[in-house]
Amino acid sequence: MSLDHIPAVLTVTLNPALDLSTETAAVVPGRKLRCGPPRLDPGGGGINVSRLVARLGGETTAFVALGGGTGMRLVAALQDEGISTRIVPIAHETRTSLSVTDASSGAQYRFMLPGPALSAGEYAAARRAVTEEGATGDFVVISGSLPTGADPDVPARLAEAFAAAGLRPVIDTSGAALDHLVRHPAADPAARPEILRFDHAEAEEVAGRELPRRADTARFAADLVARGAARRIVVGRQAEGNVLAEAAGAWFAAAAPVAVVSAIGAGDSFLAAMTYAFAIGSEPDEALRWGTAAACAAVSTPGTQICAPEDIEALRPRCTVEPIAPA
C-alpha cells in the first residue's frame, strides 16, 4: 500500500537509562570480577524504538526526559547514531543500567537501577513537546518503565492528550499502568490507543488465568478490543510468536527459529518494526510479520546493540502468519 505522506514514529521515554554492557569470565560472589571492554548505548523503551525505526529508514524523533551528566552522555550517544532528539529537561540525574554476561555459561545478568521522580511540570512539558511537534496521523510510542513515584494513569493520560491532537498512541507498559489501561478504557473511541502490547506473562496476569493455546491468547486480545482498551491488541507468546487482534480479525505470526544470544530489546524491536510497518501502510498481518522478524533478529544480536535491518529482511519470510480464531 502506498501513502502520499508517511507518518512519523515519535517516541516518548520518561525514564531513560545509559545502558552499560560488558562480559566477565564467571559471575561469582565475594571477589572482584574482571570485565571486558564496556559498551555504552542509549537505553529506554522509546529510545530503542526510535533507534530501530531510524535504521529502517523511517522518520522518528525521540522525546526524552533527561537530567544531569548522565543525561548529557545519553544525548551524545543518541547524536552519534543520528537520532533526532528533543530533550525534556528534568531536575534530577538520569539513571544508568548494567548488563553483565557470564562467559562460562552464557547467562546474562541485568541490573536496572531506579530512575528519578518527575514533577507535574516536567510531565506537562513532555506532553506539550510531543503535541507541538507531532503532525496529524503520526504514531507516538509510549514505552519503557515509568519514573519513580509515577501515577499509574500517566500512560493513559498521555495517550488521551496525544489522540486529542490527532496523533496515534502506541503503548507498551506494565504493572499498575497496564492494569489501569485495561480497567479504565477511554469512553471516547477516538481517545483510545492505536496499539496496546502485552507479553505473555502480562496477558495471563491481566486475564487472571493461563493462556496455554494461541486461540486462548487471541480470545483475550479480541475481548480487550471489544471492551475498548485499544484499537489493536498485541500479545507476545514468548519464543512461539505473536498474536494481533483488531475488530476485523486476529492473526498469529510464528517466530523464526534463531539462536538466542541476548533477550535485551526484543520487545522494543518488535514494537519499532511493527509500528514502522503500519506507518508505511502495511496491513495488520504484514505489520505483525515485521514485528516478529525484528524480535527474532533482536534476540540473536549481542547485548544492547540494535539489530540490523538486513537481518529483519532475511527473517521476515520465515515468520509465517495465519488468521486465528479466538477460542
Active site residues: 268
Tally of CB atoms within 10 A around 270: 29
Query: Is the CB of residue 213 less than 8 Å from the CB of residue 186?
Result: no
C-alpha cell at 114: 531506579
Query: What's the CA dihedral at 6, 60, 173, 241 to 10 degrees?
Result: 60
Which residue type does 39 have? R
Nearest to 126 by CA among 49, 51, 73, 61: 61
Residue 297 and residue 71: Cα distance in Å, rounded? 28
Q: How many CA atoms lie within 13 A of 230 on its CB side?
A: 27
Distance, CA of 276 to chain centre = 12
Tally of CB atoms within 10 A around 269: 26
Query: Is the CB of residue 111 less than 8 Å from the CB of residue 98?
Result: yes
DSSP-based three-state secondary structure for 294: helix
User: What residues contact residue 59 under an 8 Å CB cut-off, 6+ apart?
Assistant: 6, 8, 9, 53
DSSP-based three-state secondary structure for 233: strand
CA-based R_g, the chain, Å = 19
Residue 230 DSSP one-character state:
-
